[in-house]
Amino acid sequence: MHWYKGELLSMAKDVGYRLLPAFNTTTGIPYARVNLKYGMKSDRLEFARETCTACAGSMILEMAALSRLTGEPEFEARAHKAMDALWKMRHRGSDLMGTVLNVHSGDWVRRDSGVGAGIDSYYEYCLKAYILLGDNKYLNRFNRHYNAVMKYISQGPMLLDVHMHRPHTNSRNYMDALLAFWPGLQVLKGDLKPAVETHEMLYQVMQRHKFIPEAFTTDFQVHWGNHPLRPEFLESTYFLYTATGDPYYLEVGKNVLRSLQKYARVPCGYAAVNDVTTGKQEDRMDSFVLAETFKYLFLLFADKDELILNLDEFIFTTEGHLLPLSLSGHTANDTKNHESEINDELAMSCPNTLSLFPESFRKPLQNMVDGMCPRRNQRRRLTAAEFSAANINHLKLIKEMGINIVAMSDGRVQLLHTFSSARSAADAEEGLLFMQEMVELAKLQSQQPEPVAQAVTVPLKDHLGDEQLMVLQAGPSQFGRNLKGDEKVTAKAVIVHPFKGCEDLRVPDLVKDKIAIMERGDCMFIDKVRKVQRHGAVGAIIVDNVAGSSAASSPMFSMSGDGNNDVKIPAVFLFKQDASKLLLAISKDWDVQITISELREADNFSQNEEESMFQKLKLSVQDFLVKHTGITFTKTAVEVGGFRANIGTDKIRITYKEADSDNNLKEAITNQQWSKIRKGLLHSIMHSDSKELFVPLNILRIYYQTLSGASIEEVKATDVVKQTKWLLSELIKEQNKKDDDLVKLDTEGEGVAVLTDIDKLSKPDSSVIESKKEKLKQLNSILRTVSELESSLETQDIIDKVFNKLKIEASDDLIIGEEKQTSDERTSIVNKKEQSSIAKTKASRTVDEL
């Protein structure tokens, strides 16, 4: 190149002079860092007196090359002095080196000795200094170090750090990824057998984890999960293939390249892997990826005629740069070339035993990793991503794994894994994996933005025909399109069959251009949404499968995905009670257009309603902790007169005890129908063996809203304690009436039907009620709407059975119904067009509580 005038060499010389101040130490071992502009004048640099063995001993090749190309011996002399100082610092008994030392005193700071991080390239440069410079002292030093490594550090194919002064004691129980260079160095040394064994061990670790983790334990589990796409393993693969010609190593390189393409490829390059267990990437691509990783991949697969250089005349530095062997002052002789020609001729006429040599050492190691850490043959019963604290089956599974839920004093819930508490050793192992996944999920969730609550809006018509919007709070998803701001999706809704949405849809064309409604369970959320998206759905709503759940009494639920980004439609989650309102609206009008959008502040619960729901939320948490942790709480109790009510999570327990003081509560105007209901409640309390009665909270609210005369805003502002006090007061009012009224309940033909356990109703009721029909309009309207709701949920058969088999019975769960009558008469009452608009309005307000 006639145009080149040595500009690059001149700049390299300038950099060399700027590095020399780092060598101004007592021992001659250079500082770890130097400012190229100001030298060591910075106090922060001068007081950083510690350096690693690899830093101090990995300059002899470059500095010697610079001196021999520029004619300035200063650079090579400084590097020789540093290598000589390091050699003096070795442990004279074991010939091992530590990893960190003081540049002035030479004292070892870290006495761990190995072949990985902090010391790796020192061994490499001892051997390569002999190859490049021809100085026998470096060969002698390397042989002394190599024998010590193979005696103390090498444990079969594994290389474990030891204490340099106590070489028979391991200093750690894991290996780091940088030791992958060692088999390549052993090839240069000419010791192929241990090189093949160590390389095979590393390859099996790579196959298990897709990449070699930055550190892994002696049983080949992940210790540090990151992988910055290091080149050391490919370097050793290239040298082994060059030495043996075994095509096995081409297959190794192919698998490495496949992992790079599948797990590290991004639009702008190749991203480092943050965790090999999850495949999460980080926004980082180190310089050695291009300088070494892909260089060794290219050299592994390249033919000789594709190379513009004869690599046998060069040596690689630790950074993958080529230095010519001619720097040693010796040129290649003809004898070497003549011998290689003879070898090529023999290779064509006789079997090449070099490719058979490594196979004899690899074969005994082919199941080494799987033998020490066998793969799980059984399918995981529960993963952390699938876990739901509201699912009782999931709670049973983690209990079998030895995982307990512990309530903290600040209200948080902690998972505690105890190996001995598991049902079996296999369950304990699965519990450990579950806990590790939980930790990783917690890390990922802390790094992700807070999910935005979604809303499902349904237009409804009131009793006057005016359209009003019903807004339901919905949980977001961590996959698909998350609607924000003014973004929204509006379409008709369709209930998927089968309702779980996990199997093939019976009529897939029905979901096209519609919002598909499915139920939670049997498969992952994203699998359900992915299925309906394939058939043309524009959105998806997942309905909770836990009875009684609602957004008002539960924290926001966010659906998790599986890490893939193939879902593009929005998907939201509705709790059971909220979903029942949506299903009711759809059953009334199948053409109703529903909208999915971001939940706005104005659409959220009012402050009063949040305060009224606090009691329910508190009781729900207490009940969960009592059931699964054994922690007991004193439940809220209300006393009025001789009646006492204990408020539970979904019902109240009413008991009666003779009171010392009389309570003279009376009412001026009596609602005859409500009086009959109260008589039925009193009869159940007074005549049951346990003297108690259970009333569901949703029925209590219906009573209060329908019969107390309170407006819907007042009902929202009234918590369950006030409603319970009101009911007990009503019972006292009924009790203060004449005793004869209580007796009439069994003798009158128009009794009150108290529905208890549905499965126990077997005797049909033949009584016919022909009077007082007008007095039942309100409750008839409620029951009619409930009937429509239940029919939409495919439980019409159960309701028909109940209506045909009414009887008065006391039990734990009580629902107050209308007077007993034949099915035909009930239908005629329900379908009457003369029902008042007031009753309809109240029914629409209260049906969601059922």
Ramachandran angles phi, psi of 598, nearest 5°: -75, 140
Give the Cα-Cα-Cα angle 630, 633, 639 (nearest 5 degrees).
145
The one-character DSSP state at 151 is: I
**How many residues are recorded in the chain?**
850
Torsion of CA 771, 777, 779, 783, to 10 degrees: 100
Ramachandran angles phi, psi of 772, nearest 5°: 60, 30
The DSSP element (H or E) to which 526 belongs, if any, is helix 525-534
Structure tokens, 663: 């309570």
Radius of gyration of the chain (CA): 40
Q: Determine the Cα–Cα distance for residues 30 and 739; give it in Å rounded to an integer.
A: 105
Q: Detail the residues annotated as belonging to a binding site for Ca(2+).
A: 318
Contact assessment for residue 91 and residue 43, using Cβ atoms and an 8 Å cutoff: no
Q: Determine the Cα–Cα distance for residues 473 and 552; give it in Å rounded to an integer.
A: 9
Contact assessment for residue 125 and residue 61, using Cβ atoms and an 8 Å cutoff: yes
Facing residues of 50 across strands? 102
Q: Determine the Cα–Cα distance for residues 680 and 518; give it in Å rounded to an integer.
A: 40
Q: Determine the Cα–Cα distance for residues 850 and 843; give it in Å rounded to an integer.
A: 11
Q: Give the Cβ contact number of residue 330 at 10 Å.
A: 9
Structure tokens, 123: 């061994």
Residues 608-645, buried b or exposed e (16+ Cβ, 10 A)? eeeebbebbeebbbbebbeebeeeeeeebebebbbbbb
Q: Determine the Cα–Cα distance for residues 639 and 646; give it in Å rounded to an integer.
A: 9
Report the candidate in 323, 263, 259, 320 with the shortest Cα–Cα distance to residue 291: 320
CB neighbours of 371 closer than 8 A, spacing ≥ 6?
A: none
Ramachandran angles phi, psi of 94, nearest 5°: -110, -15
Facing residues of 490 across strands? 595
Report the candidate in 373, 86, 347 with the shortest Cα–Cα distance to residue 217: 373
Farthest CA pair distance, the chain: 129
Report the candidate in 76, 185, 171, 206 with the shortest Cα–Cα distance to residue 125: 185
The DSSP element (H or E) to which 376 belongs, if any, is none
Q: Write down the H helix ranges in 57-181.
A: 60-70, 74-88, 120-133, 136-148
Contact assessment for residue 157 and residue 200, using Cβ atoms and an 8 Å cutoff: yes
Q: Detail the residues annotated as belonging to a binding site.
A: 318
Q: Determine the Cα–Cα distance for residues 656 and 640; give it in Å rounded to an integer.
A: 10
The one-character DSSP state at 326 is: G
Contact assessment for residue 106 and residue 51, using Cβ atoms and an 8 Å cutoff: no
Give the Cα-Cα-Cα angle 570, 572, 573 (nearest 5 degrees).
165
Q: Determine the Cα–Cα distance for residues 107 and 442; give it in Å rounded to an integer.
A: 43
Q: Determine the Cα–Cα distance for residues 383 and 385; give it in Å rounded to an integer.
A: 5
Q: Determine the Cα–Cα distance for residues 26 and 33; give it in Å rounded to an integer.
A: 16
Ramachandran angles phi, psi of 455, nearest 5°: -135, 145
Report the candidate in 126, 127, 97 with the shortest Cα–Cα distance to residue 112: 97
